Chains A and B, each alone.
Chain A
Amino acid sequence: MCFPTSPADVAAAVATAARHGRPFVARGSGTGLAGGATPVGRPVVIVTTHLNQILDVDPSARVAWVEPGVLNLDLSRAVSHLGLHYAPDPSSQAACTIGGNVATNAGGPHCLSAGVTAAHVLAVDVVLADGSTTRLGGLTPDQPGYDLRGCFVGSEGTMGITTRVAVRLTRDPPVVRTLLLDFASVEAAGATVSGIIAAGIVPAALEMMDAEITRAVEDYVGAGYPRDAAAVLLVEVDGLDGGVAAQVDAVRQVGRAHGARTVRVAADERERALLWKGRKSAFGAIARIAPDYYLHDVVVPRTRLVDVLLDVYRIAGEQRLTMMNVFHAGDGNLHPLIVFDAREPGVWPRVTAAGDAILASCVAAGGVLSGEHGIGLEKRDAMPLVFNADDLDAQARLRDAFDPWGRANPDKVLPRGSRCGELASVPEGAWV
């Protein structure tokens, strides 16, 4: 394991690994949820947390160059005095690194209108698996040739290691309104989500929490959520006065039309912060219920949200597990949260069976395996659920073009057998 303090250190570490025929795995803060940074075999682990400088901020171009170990929230804090922020805001933003965000193509509640990490990364300086360095992308709007930057973002460390990142900064909206709507059924909340989108509104954020998590959060932080709600929606709209007022009215009307019991608009910044505190404390809140959780991440077409959510409840019942749901409803990104006590004998097989069933339900509804956490080890072997042999072969070709030596974070993302002609046997116990 090494802790480089300069890009040259990273290149030297990768070159050393190459010389000894060892794979390497890049690691940021270790907040990843799909096992993408988990060392498998005997890799050199290259931890980027000491590369934590914000190198340059250009307020006029709204671009910042940062090292990969800079924490997501630290970047937004560092530019807040300029009226700017870094838009992707994963729940772990106080702890996760920009480099990790690049690797996973991280999202967050405000990616509904702002887009995920790939839309905010202009260029990356990378060390390739042979220890050579190159820049992918750039500050010019177009670059000649293939969009290798676009391929690299979200490649989960399998194409090289980032040493510098140029990110786009976003202007703070002058007006922000946050609404809390509560419902007597998840169906009504889900119909409201579809109704808002169908009304021509793409809110800045559109989050849903079901009954179990709403109560847990309320017990934990007292955010003012109705404890008897079957589901609540947290809706944020931003922009300028006219558009925001119109959108608040429209959201209120759509909510009422679908049976919202109450529609509350945060009166001031303090109330708005409290509503968000509830949402962002969800994962802390569940610690009061059980010591362990398994957080899933799947995306379905927005119009299938309720069907799949009801299926999640059915699966929870079948496996006798507590399942809570707090998720990015606006983009169909479900996060079923299985809450359990790992000390309970026989619980693990039920947890993994429930996870498999959730994936199957999501794929059957036309969804995908992950919206923002990544594939890593966790979902690697589920890739054939959504891609056929030819699709996987094309992905393997792309990966091998970046790393023909197979040294960058091997055994992640693509299952064995992805390359045409490759043996599909997987060694027992290859992960967890």
Chain B
Amino acid sequence: MTDAGEAAVAAAVGAASTVVPVGGRTQWDVGGAPPAGTEVRAPAGIVAYDPAELTVTAGAGTSVAALDEALAEHGQECPLDPRDPRATLGGVLAVGTSGHRRLRFGPLRDRVLEVRFATADGRLVRGGGPTVKNVTGYDLPRLLVGSFGTLGVLTRVILRCQPRPACARWYDGGGDPDAARAACLAPSTIAWGPDGTRVLLEGHADDVDAQAAAADLVPAAGPPPWPTGPHRGRISVAPGRVGEVGAALDALDGVAWLAEWGVGTVHIAAATTAGLASARRVAGTADGWLLREAGAPDLDGFGVDLPAADVMGRVKAAFDPTGKLAPGRLPIPVPAAARRAS
């Protein structure tokens, strides 16, 4: 069952003193500073795809674009972050970026059925299982989503797919994002920013039209422009506090923002590092936090202490006792007392 490419990755990871997992380098500056060390890349390519199962097995080095192309042939999709389709599956999962249709289709971590990864000591480990429903053992797939490569290097994944919606249309939703949320059963995106609201409705064409009419939505050309600028990040706050965060961000100079209403993610682009730092303070005031995604090299990647740091430290020590995997990507202290021989 083991792919030669995966075995080579495991051997490389085991032999290296410092391991730097590399995907498409599209999210290279997200989180803690990129480490220096031996770069390892997961194999690319679709391994197995049976449309009747609604699941796909692929090398973690497969690009989001390549996966999307393969699934599209059978009218299916896996809604991963589309901002840069050159990103690899392993990279998207390691960084834990949920796509902009999360309001309807849920977070990235709910997509992953099975993972295979190279451990610090050079073994290949499998977690989860190939079926769409599974409670056999502990949930290693969820543990690895968002772990920034600090627990193992993803080599192969099985993802849950879904039918592509028959119809997908963007609308202008005016100034009140709550109106669209109340009037539509399951909008895919409610993007809210300084220029108003854009709503993505998907499904049967009749339902899309009926909901748009009920919510007084006006057809729009497409998605809203993503905030652009040299210093970028994303805020996570409780969904109910996005309104106050937006108002506070509006008061900042040189800070562009776009919020996923109902989700609690606010995408930030700032002209200066100071602007991104200000946006981080806004997030903190609303009991949220800001993940640095690009630029702002002087800014800490996370800007907050990790919750349940004791447990996280022990998890890190259990999987990577010498701290060789992607050091610095996550601000996790490795407690010496919790280290165990591997």
Closest Cβ–Cβ distance, residue A131 to chain B (whole Å): 13
Interface centre among B132, B178, B289, B304 (most CB of A within 10 A): B132
Known: A115-B106, A136-B308. Contact between A394 and B134, CB under 8 A? no
Interface centre among B138, B239, B314 (most CB of A within 10 A): B138
Q: Flag if A331 contacts B131 (CB, 8 Å).
A: yes
Answer yes or no: B84 CB below 8 A from chain A CBs: no
Q: Flag if A171 contacts B185 (CB, 8 Å).
A: yes
Q: Flag if A374 contacts B135 (CB, 8 Å).
A: yes
How many chain B residues have a CB neighbour from A under 8 Å? Answer: 85
Q: Flag if A373 contacts B135 (CB, 8 Å).
A: yes
Q: Which residues in B have their C-beta under 8 angstroms from that of A173? A: 185
Answer yes or no: B83 CB below 8 A from chain A CBs: no
A11 to B102, CA, bound (A): 36
Answer yes or no: B219 CB below 8 A from chain A CBs: no
Closest Cβ–Cβ distance, residue B133 to chain A (whole Å): 4
Q: Flag if B289 contacts A140 (CB, 8 Å).
A: yes
Q: Which residues in A have their C-beta under 8 angstroms from that of B264? A: 139-141
Q: Flag if B204 contacts A394 (CB, 8 Å).
A: no
Chain B residues 24-70 with CB under 8 Å of chain A are 50-55
Q: Mark A147-162, 1 if CB is under 8 A from B, else 0.
A: 1101101110000000
Answer yes or no: A429 CB below 8 A from chain B CBs: no
Q: Flag if B131 contacts A300 (CB, 8 Å).
A: yes
Q: Give the interface segment out of B14-22, B206-214, B220-228.
A: B206-214
Known: A243-B203, A398-B318. Contact between A391 and B133, CB under 8 A? no
Which residue of chain A has its CB nearest to the CB of B143? A151
Partner of B203, one of A239, A371, A386, A394: A239
Closest Cβ–Cβ distance, residue B288 to chain A (whole Å): 5
Chain B residues 122-149 with CB under 8 Å of chain A are 123-127, 129-140, 142-143, 145-147
Which residue of chain A has its CB nearest to the CB of B305? A144
Answer yes or no: B299 CB below 8 A from chain A CBs: no
Partner of A200, one of B75, B136, B143, B205: B75
A402 to B146, CA, bound (A): 18
Known: A148-B308, A173-B185, A394-B127. Contact between A299 and B319, CB under 8 A? no
Q: Flag if A367 contacts B131 (CB, 8 Å).
A: yes
Q: Mark B287-323, 1 if CB is under 8 A from A, else 0.
A: 1110100000000001010111111101101110000
Closest Cβ–Cβ distance, residue A197 to chain B (whole Å): 6
Known: A202-B54, A394-B127, A397-B319. Contact between A413 and B137, CB under 8 A? yes
Partner of A242, one of B207, B310, B331, B340: B207
Q: Which residues in B have their C-beta under 8 angstroms from that of A361? A: none
Q: Give the interface segment out of A47-55, A104-112, A214-222, A281-289.
A: A104-112
Answer yes or no: B330 CB below 8 A from chain A CBs: yes
Q: Flag if A151 contacts B139 (CB, 8 Å).
A: yes
Q: Which residues in B have their C-beta under 8 angstroms from that of A432? A: none
Q: Mark B259-274, 1 if CB is under 8 A from A, else 0.
A: 0100111000000000
Answer yes or no: A184 CB below 8 A from chain B CBs: no
Answer yes or no: B332 CB below 8 A from chain A CBs: yes
Interface centre among A107, A197, A414 (most CB of B within 10 A): A197
Chain A residues 101-138 with CB under 8 Å of chain B are 104-105, 107, 111, 115-116, 118-119, 128, 132, 134-136, 138
Answer yes or no: A301 CB below 8 A from chain B CBs: yes
Q: Flag if B311 contacts A402 (CB, 8 Å).
A: yes
Q: Which residues in A have their C-beta under 8 angstroms from that of B302? A: 144
Q: Flag if A60 contacts B307 (CB, 8 Å).
A: no
Answer yes or no: B85 CB below 8 A from chain A CBs: no
Number of A-B contacts (CB under 8 A): 254
A171 to B184, CA, bound (A): 11
Q: Flag if B163 contacts A146 (CB, 8 Å).
A: no
Closest Cβ–Cβ distance, residue A351 to chain B (whole Å): 22
Answer yes or no: A273 CB below 8 A from chain B CBs: no
Chain A residues 357-400 with CB under 8 Å of chain B are 366-375, 379, 383, 386-388, 390-395, 397-400
Closest Cβ–Cβ distance, residue B13 to chain A (whole Å): 13
Answer yes or no: A241 CB below 8 A from chain B CBs: yes
Known: A173-B185, A301-B53. Contact between A394 and B140, CB under 8 A? yes
Q: Mark A231-252, 1 if CB is under 8 A from B, else 0.
A: 0000000011111001000000
Partner of B133, one of A116, A240, A242: A116
Q: Flag if A368 contacts B134 (CB, 8 Å).
A: yes
Q: Which residues in B have their C-beta under 8 angstroms from that of A395? A: 127, 137-138, 140
A173 to B236, CA, bound (A): 28
Answer yes or no: B11 CB below 8 A from chain A CBs: no
Interface centre among B139, B205, B332 (most CB of A within 10 A): B139
Closest Cβ–Cβ distance, residue B333 to chain A (whole Å): 11
Chain A residues 33-72 with CB under 8 Å of chain B are 58, 60-61
Answer yes or no: A401 CB below 8 A from chain B CBs: yes
Q: Flag if B265 contacts A141 (CB, 8 Å).
A: yes
Answer yes or no: B98 CB below 8 A from chain A CBs: yes
A388 to B207, CA, bound (A): 48
Q: Flag if A369 contacts B319 (CB, 8 Å).
A: no
A202 to B136, CA, bound (A): 23
A394 to B138, CA, bound (A): 9
A302 to B119, CA, bound (A): 31
Answer yes or no: B109 CB below 8 A from chain A CBs: yes
Closest Cβ–Cβ distance, residue A203 to chain B (whole Å): 12
Answer yes or no: B174 CB below 8 A from chain A CBs: no
Partner of B162, one of A202, A239, A333, A400: A202
Q: Flag if A413 contacts B289 (CB, 8 Å).
A: no
A342 to B126, CA, bound (A): 39
Q: Flag if B126 contacts A391 (CB, 8 Å).
A: yes
Closest Cβ–Cβ distance, residue B279 to chain A (whole Å): 15
Q: Which residues in A have their C-beta under 8 angstroms from that of B330? A: 144-145
Answer yes or no: B110 CB below 8 A from chain A CBs: yes
Interface centre among B142, B291, B338 (most CB of A within 10 A): B142
Answer yes or no: B240 CB below 8 A from chain A CBs: yes
Which residue of chain A has its CB nearest to the CB of B129? A368
New A-B contacts (13) at CB < 8 Å, excluding given A200-B164, A202-B162 = A119-B106, A141-B239, A143-B236, A144-B302, A145-B306, A202-B54, A300-B131, A332-B132, A333-B133, A394-B125, A395-B138, A398-B143, A401-B311
What 10 A-B pairs have minimum CB-CB distances, sorted nearest first?
Answer: A242-B206, A150-B142, A200-B163, A243-B204, A397-B318, A401-B314, A240-B207, A242-B204, A145-B306, A140-B236
**Would you list 22 pairs from A and B whose C-beta atoms are within 8 A, ordered by A residue?**
A132-B310, A138-B307, A145-B312, A154-B135, A200-B75, A240-B206, A242-B204, A242-B207, A243-B206, A299-B133, A299-B134, A301-B131, A303-B53, A368-B134, A374-B135, A383-B136, A387-B126, A394-B119, A395-B127, A401-B311, A401-B315, A402-B311
